[in-house]
């Protein structure tokens, strides 16, 4: 019998598996499709919450822990033979935030580098940006990671250390006398004394009817990517909740919509044209670039964006690490470490109270 069964093979599930394996546990991970192919693959890979000062301090604390460790994580994955996840410190330029004083107060409290910019400074920061914004804030330390490459690299590194069962969908939790005993799947039952739900937008559904379900709902995001020349755009740019992310090879990712359509991942021509219009309004040089791909993913929305990390107190041995909304990439390393701390009963990296399943959000 495995020491711990993890349901969900996204960034959260894989990093959690890696933490528990490092502590000496035998770990099995199951995924209804293939590892890293849901929201972990679909997102933008900015290693920061958007407008980070607007989130609860509980999110900032997780993000800060992860941000400090991402360079080493990327180097470890490369050294282990995984694809380069392309960790790149481009900085985050946020146009016309409208609450710069709040941003400055937040930066002071958490020791974050954040600078207000006027129009001339905006142009100097990103010369090819076309913007009438009179003010912006600049976070020079914000990095990105190419999340599809990150998920491939994580899979490469953990596949020889833990048992990975793909195309294995969890259909029920097996509970006896108040304790978890395993998971029923489309391929039969898997016994386990500990189970961690890391199933993203599907996590609440799996727990429904067993415990008061955590408020996790799917929130659709559509994105497009241009094939463009390297070096033309150098900064991550955020404006009115949409963003431009330049990749190392010249591709430029544009995101994203926020849609409540259940588990429907259908892309729409309207969203594609809206994202294209946003991109061209800010970077006219993209007019000659080709839209290479248009896709959608389902974020695991949660109240205030605070994830659920901890035991499901009504069922012994059952845990949850889900509900990261738009921030699964940036919160992943810290969430995984905190989850492992709680499972193993060791000193936690952060006070877990704010992330408890019954905590106020």
Peptide bond into 115 cis (omega under 30): no
Look at residue 179 and give its three-state secondary structure. strand
| The CATH homologous superfamily of the domain defined by 4-58+149-215+304-355 | FAD/NAD(P)-binding domain (3.50.50.60)
Q: What is the dihedral of CA 332, 337, 341, 343, to 10 degrees?
A: 50
Q: Spell 126-149 as b/e; 16+ CB within 10 A means b.
A: beebebebebbbbbeebbbbbbbb
Q: How far apart are CA 176 and CA 152, in angstroms?
A: 36
Q: Residue 209: pLDDT band by 50, 70, 90 thresholds?
A: confident
Tell which residue, 283, 340, 289, has the closest CA to residue 311: 340
Beta pairing class for 115-118 and 135-139:
antiparallel
Tens digits of per-residue pLDDT, 283-292? 999 999 999 9
Tens digits of per-residue pLDDT, 114-145? 999 999 999 999 999 999 999 999 999 999 99
Find residue 309's DSSP bridge partners: 321
Query: Is the pLDDT confidence value at 149 over 90?
Result: yes
Tens digits of per-residue pLDDT, 246-267? 999 999 999 999 999 999 999 9
Find residue 26's DSSP bridge partners: none
Tell which residue, 283, 277, 296, has the closest CA to residue 131: 283
Q: How far apart are CA 263 and CA 212, in angstroms?
A: 21
Kindly tell me the burial class for residue 166, based on how many C-beta atoms sit within 10 Å of its own C-beta (0-12, 13-18, 19 or more): middle
Asked if 182 contacts 174 with a C-beta cutoff of 8 angstroms, the reply is yes
Residue 360's pLDDT is 84
Residue 27's pLDDT is 98
Query: Is the pLDDT confidence value at 186 over 90?
Result: yes
Look at residue 223 and give its three-state secondary structure. strand
Tens digits of per-residue pLDDT, 52-75? 999 999 999 999 999 999 999 999
Extents of the domains making up the chain: 4-58+149-215+304-355, 89-142+217-301
Cα angle value 225/241/100 (rounded, 5°): 135
Residue 191's pLDDT is 97
Query: What's the Cα-to-Cα distance from 134 to each of 114, 137, 294, rounded to whole Å?
Result: 17, 11, 32
| 315: Cβ contacts below 8 Å, ≥ 6 apart | 173, 175, 178, 179, 180, 210, 211
Query: Is the pLDDT confidence value at 315 over 80?
Result: yes
| Mean pLDDT (whole number) for 172-193 | 97
Tens digits of per-residue pLDDT, 230-246? 999 999 999 999 999 99
Q: How far apart are CA 84 and CA 192, in angstroms?
A: 34
Q: Residue 86: pLDDT band by 50, 70, 90 thresholds?
A: very high
Residue 218's pLDDT is 97
Q: What is the rounded end-to-end Cα distance, in angstroms, of the chain? A: 36
Tell which residue, 351, 18, 293, 337, has the closest CA to residue 161: 18
| Mean pLDDT (whole number) for 171-180 | 96
Q: How far apart are CA 86 and CA 75, in angstroms?
A: 10
Q: How far apart are CA 215 and CA 177, in angstroms?
A: 26
Q: Residue 1: pLDDT band by 50, 70, 90 thresholds?
A: confident
- CATH architecture of structural domain 89-142+217-301: 2-Layer Sandwich (3.30)
Tens digits of per-residue pLDDT, 320-333? 999 999 999 999 99
Q: How far apart are CA 150 and CA 132, in angstroms?
A: 35
Tens digits of per-residue pLDDT, 3-45? 999 999 999 999 999 999 999 999 999 999 999 999 999 999 9
Query: Is the pLDDT confidence value at 313 over 80?
Result: yes
Cα angle value 158/252/133 (rounded, 5°): 125
């Amino acid at each position: 019998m495995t020491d711990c069964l993890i349901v969900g093979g996204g960034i959260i599930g894989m990093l959690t598996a890696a933490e528990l394996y490092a502590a000496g546990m035998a770990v099995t991970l199951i995924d209804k499709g293939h590892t890293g192919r849901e929201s972990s693959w679909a997102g933008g890979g900015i290693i920061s919450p958007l407008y980070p000062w607007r989130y609860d301090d509980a999110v900032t604390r997780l993000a800060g822990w992860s941000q400090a460790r991402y360079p080493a994580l990327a180097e470890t994955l490369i050294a282990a033979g995984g694809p380069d996840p392309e960790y790149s410190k481009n900085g985050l330029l946020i146009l016309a935030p409208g609450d710069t004083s709040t941003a400055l107060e937040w930066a002071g409290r958490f020791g974050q580098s954040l600078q207000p910019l006027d129009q001339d400074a905006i142009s100097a920061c990103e010369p090819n940006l076309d913007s009438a914004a009179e003010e912006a804030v600049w976070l020079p330390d914000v990095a990105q990671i190419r999340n599809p490459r990150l998920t491939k690299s994580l899979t490469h590194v953990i596949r020889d250390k833990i048992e990975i069962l793909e195309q294995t969908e969890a259909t029920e939790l097996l509970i006896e006398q108040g304790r978890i005993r395993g998971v029923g799947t489309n391929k039969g039952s898997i016994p386990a004394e500990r189970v961690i739900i890391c199933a993203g937008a599907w996590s609440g559904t799996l727990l429904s009817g067993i415990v008061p379900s955590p408020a996790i709902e799917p929130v659709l995001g559509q994105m497009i990517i241009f094939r463009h020349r390297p070096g033309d755009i150098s900064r991550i740019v955020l404006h009115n909740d949409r963003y431009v992310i330049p990749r190392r090879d010249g591709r430029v990712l544009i995101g994203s919509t926020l849609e409540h359509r259940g588990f429907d991942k259908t892309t729409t021509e309207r969203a594609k044209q809206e994202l294209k219009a946003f991109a061209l309004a800010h970077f006219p040089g993209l007019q000659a670039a080709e839209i290479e791909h248009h896709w959608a993913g389902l974020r695991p929305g949660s109240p205030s964006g605070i994830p659920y990390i901890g035991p499901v107190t009504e069922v012994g041995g059952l845990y949850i690490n889900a509900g990261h909304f738009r921030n699964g990439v940036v919160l992943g390393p810290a969430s995984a470490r905190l989850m492992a701390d709680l499972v193993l009963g060791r000193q936690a990296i952060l006070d877990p109270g704010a992330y408890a399943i019954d905590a106020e959000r």
